[in-house]
Amino acid sequence: MSQTPIAARGRATIYDIAKQAGLSAATVSAVLNGNREKRRISSETAKRIEQIAATLKYSVNRQASGLRKSRSGLIGMLIPNHDTYFFSSTSQAFERMARERNLCPIVVSTLRDPKLEVETTKTLISYQIEYLIVTGATDRDGVSKVCQQHGVGHLNLDLPGTKAPSIISDHFWGAQALTEELLRLCKPQKMPDRDKLYFIGGIATDFATQRRIAGFTAAIQKSTAGAISADQIDTHGYEAENAAFAITKLYESLGGLPKGLFINSTMPLEGIAQFLRTLDPAELAGCTFGCFDWEPLATFLGFPLLMVRQDVDGLLRKAFELIDTNQLKTNHVFEIKPSLVIPLSVGGAQKVNMA
Amino acid sequence: MSQTPIAARGRATIYDIAKQAGLSAATVSAVLNGNREKRRISSETAKRIEQIAATLKYSVNRQASGLRKSRSGLIGMLIPNHDTYFFSSTSQAFERMARERNLCPIVVSTLRDPKLEVETTKTLISYQIEYLIVTGATDRDGVSKVCQQHGVGHLNLDLPGTKAPSIISDHFWGAQALTEELLRLCKPQKMPDRDKLYFIGGIATDFATQRRIAGFTAAIQKSTAGAISADQIDTHGYEAENAAFAITKLYESLGGLPKGLFINSTMPLEGIAQFLRTLDPAELAGCTFGCFDWEPLATFLGFPLLMVRQDVDGLLRKAFELIDTNQLKTNHVFEIKPSLVIPLSVGGAQKVNMA
DNA sequence: GTGAAAGCGCTAACAC
DNA sequence: GTGTTAGCGCTTTCAC
């Protein structure tokens, strides 16, 4: 079989090598996979085969070997989008850890579209991916169902599901720590309504937002401030424009900035920053700002900003730990603590970490 | 063949469907690939097959079909890293356009490491990718060599190579436009050394930096300013720290900020922003800032900033045009014009586009 | 130490 | 309109 000359097909196969070496394909295969010991192939033979493989520019066809072995060496990850720092750094860490395990990473973004999530999952499964990490998806359980039907090990990251293990940030802890720090650092205001912390951004029904509000509320209730009122929380979406609108309204109704602001994620932060640029820099000094989420440039906005930085490496380390130890059949939720990043200009220490 | 029951293997095959339908695998295959017309399969038969496929949760094995068809349906892209806005938006556009063509996108980052670039290329080729887009790689020609040895169509993006077509931003035009705008908007300074534009960031031997310096220089020489001196250009790397150091030194030696600053890319921008925060806000008003490269939050730094935004969509549109029309054998270089983004607080118009 | 042969799941040429 | 068959390139059992 495979008598066609190489040139006609473009790619050399193990049969081409076998023929040139006067050996069988089985021997060539064993050498090229490092299975020499099992077959006790002499190192000369091995060397000769490797030599020929090199001159023929042989490259294994993983479609063929994968088909035969029923293993693809592929691992997939779904993310909402690439162009947000949290997700792009997630891709970066995912890739590194996949490579450490000799798996080829495939990252695909599905734009938080439930249909696209399920479709993409099916596509990845048709390529025989061995595992799937489902990050920030909308229809997590739908994706789980498809994976289960095809026996693909998978887990949720960032947002929890009910049909697979989930690894998420400890939003409650992070929000509470950030709020406590805001309370500690902010300057008291005369006017009662301005002498409060306000929460801006996110969606009230959204899991992460809920947990963050819970942490925010808990910290305030634990403090001398005591009570918290509904008008301290504005969850009109993640879009920058909505946050800009919210802060504008708040500023107008309070007659100035409040003593502190809890900004829920970097998108709303953009809207807030946009508004703050219209203010006199002196005004900003009266307000202490905190943001749940981190990105490099945010450190250098016109005002000091406390940030909660999710532990991307920790999240993925846990994910691969579950994969490595075959713990993909549960639906446990693992919470990973983020860290609180405090700029020098505010705190004194650059970073205050974990509890 | 394939008499093993489904349950034993986990995944249903076309033989399982064929058996249940009392038909042959060939018929099933034709139906499931939409090749009914060629075989003139009755719509009832087709419907029945699809029905059975659905109940068995059949999913095609693309390792097998790809092996048979010598087509994988995979398209690869190499990028330096995910967590930089330019590259992550490149991934985003790449994915969208790949999907439009029914290709499954695989994006892998290779950290500007020449060895990893070549190794990763070989891995992707072993998975039989049909095309490769090589973005911002260090050893572009090395990657080209490997692709050519295996007959894989590919092209360079962002940085040009000599062995494949290249699609790059028109750095010269962008830098020139940015510089002209800086010259137009900046306020004259008394001290001669401060009455100049300075260029900070990048590496002198780097292609993009060279072209940007050329555009910067051309704009200045065309202006009334005339001459340009070597000390106006500081190319001590892309790292934020280097830029912070450079601006600190410059500030000290000039006794203040110059009238304008050309910041080469967002990493150096970070260092500059870091330094600027140590200054009195009033001082910033005396300097006009421009950055070659764009990212969302940069718009809201403490100072007005002109930016050159690369046309990511345009770059990838051109790339896929070459792929679609099979023009991958040349080594032409295509330059795509970026756009100049001018904040309202500076220009009046939000955006001044293309020449 | 090595070869022959079977078969992973699929598609396509050919047969009827 | 549908079945039979060969074979994509590889790995692996069995045989010697």
> For A148-183, how does the pLDDT look when each residue is reduced to its tens digit (9 = 90+)?
999 999 999 999 999 999 999 999 999 999 999 999
Phi/psi at A14 (nearest 5 deg)? -65, -20
Report the Cα B274 to chain-centroid distance in Å. Answer: 26
Chain C: positions less than 7 Å from a protein CB are 1-5, 7-13
Tally Cβ neighbours within 10 Å of residue A225: 13
pLDDT tens-digit series, residues A204-243: 999 999 999 999 999 999 987 678 999 999 999 999 999 9
Given its phi and psi angles, is residue A228 left (phi above 0), alpha (psi -120 to 50 degrees) or beta? beta
Query: Over 50: is that where the pLDDT of A304 sits?
Result: yes
Residues of B in contact with A107 (CB under 8 A): 107
Distance B65 CA to C3 C1' (A): 29
Report the distance separating Cα A340 and Cα A330, nearest Å.
30
Report the distance separating Cα B30 and Cα B118, nearest Å.
39
From the list A351, A318, A25, A47, the residue with the least C-alpha distance to A156 is A318
Chain B touched by A351 (CB under 8 Å): no
pLDDT confidence of residue B352? 46
Q: Which of A186-190, A220-224, A263-267 has the lowest mean pLDDT?
A: A220-224
pLDDT confidence of residue A350? 47
Chain B touched by A301 (CB under 8 Å): yes
Chain D: positions less than 7 Å from a protein CB are 1-5, 7-13
Task: Give A101's pLDDT tier (boundaries 50, 70, 90).
Answer: very high
> In b/e form, how buried is each residue of A77-90, taking b as 16+ CB within 10 angstroms?
bbbbbbbbbbbbbb
Report the distance separating Cα A93 and Cα A50, nearest Å.
34
pLDDT confidence of residue A347? 57
Quote the percentage of chain A above a pLDDT of 90. Answer: 86
- The DSSP 8-state label assigned to residue A225 in this structure reads T
Q: Hunting for tokens 């939720």 — which residue is that?
A: A333
Chain A touched by B226 (CB under 8 Å): no
- Residue B149 and residue A57: Cβ atoms within 8 Å? yes
Report the distance separating Cα A193 and Cα B58, nearest Å.
61
**Angle ∠(A168,A316,B86) on CA atoms, nearest 5:** 100
pLDDT confidence of residue A226? 73
Query: Over 70: is that where the pLDDT of A71 sits?
Result: yes
User: What one-letter code names the amino acid at A247?
Assistant: I
Report the Cα A98 to chain-centroid distance in Å. Answer: 14
Local structure of A319: helix, strand or coil: helix
Contacts with B77 (C-beta within 8 Å, 6 or more apart), sequence order: B90, B91, B94, B105, B106, B107, B108, B132, B133, B134, B135
From the list B42, B47, B44, B19, the residue with the least C-alpha distance to B32 is B47
User: What one-letter code names the amino acid at A213?
Assistant: I
Query: Over 50: is that where the pLDDT of A353 sits?
Result: no
Average pLDDT, chain A: 93
Query: What is the C-alpha radius of gyration for chain A, rounded to an integer number of angstroms?
Result: 27
From the list B252, B343, B329, B254, the residue with the least C-alpha distance to B291 is B343
pLDDT confidence of residue A355? 37
Which nucleotide in the DNA or RNA is closest to residue B45, CA to C1'? D1
From the list A210, A209, A156, the residue with the least C-alpha distance to A335 is A156
Task: Give A36's pLDDT tier (boundaries 50, 70, 90).
Answer: confident
Q: Hunting for tokens 């704009």 — which residue is that?
A: B219
Task: Give A4's pLDDT tier (boundaries 50, 70, 90).
Answer: low
B267, with CB counted inside 10 A (0-12, 13-18, 19+), is buried
Mean pLDDT, residues A4-17: 77
Residues (15-34, chain A) with CB within 7 Å of strand C atoms: 22-27
Which nucleotide in the DNA or RNA is closest to residue A24, CA to C1'? C3
Local structure of B266: helix, strand or coil: helix
Phi/psi at A68 (nearest 5 deg)? -65, -45
Phi/psi at B182 (nearest 5 deg)? -60, -45
Judging by DSSP bridges, how do beta strands B339-341 and B305-309 pair with one another? Answer: antiparallel
Report the distance separating Cα A118 and Cα B35, nearest Å.
25
Closest amino acid to nucleotide D13 (CA–C1'): A26
Please report the DSSP string for B275-293 in residue order: HHTTS-HHHHTT-EEEEES
Residues of B in contact with A149 (CB under 8 A): 57
pLDDT tens-digit series, residues A123-142: 999 999 999 999 999 999 99
Nearest to A274 among B122, B274, B300 (CB): B300
Which nucleotide in the DNA or RNA is closest to residue B38, CA to C1'? D1
pLDDT confidence of residue A7? 52
> In b/e form, how buried is each residue of A294-303, taking b as 16+ CB within 10 angstroms?
bbbbbbbbbb
10-residue stretch averages of pLDDT, chain B, 355 residues long:
54 94 94 88 92 96 96 98 97 98 98 98 98 98 98 98 98 98 95 96 96 97 85 94 97 96 97 92 92 95 94 98 97 98 70 44
- The DSSP 8-state label assigned to residue A187 in this structure reads P
* Nearest-neighbour CA in chain A from B295: distance (Å): 9
Residues of A in contact with B300 (CB under 8 A): 270, 273-274, 276-277, 301-302
Sequence-separated contacts (24+) of B93-101 with Cβ below 8 Å: B93/B312, B93/B313, B93/B315, B93/B316, B94/B133, B94/B316, B95/A82, B95/A108, B95/A109, B97/B316, B97/B317, B97/B320, B101/B75, B101/B320, B101/B324
Distance (Å) of CA A32 to CA A17, A69, B186: 11, 15, 64
Chain A touched by B252 (CB under 8 Å): no
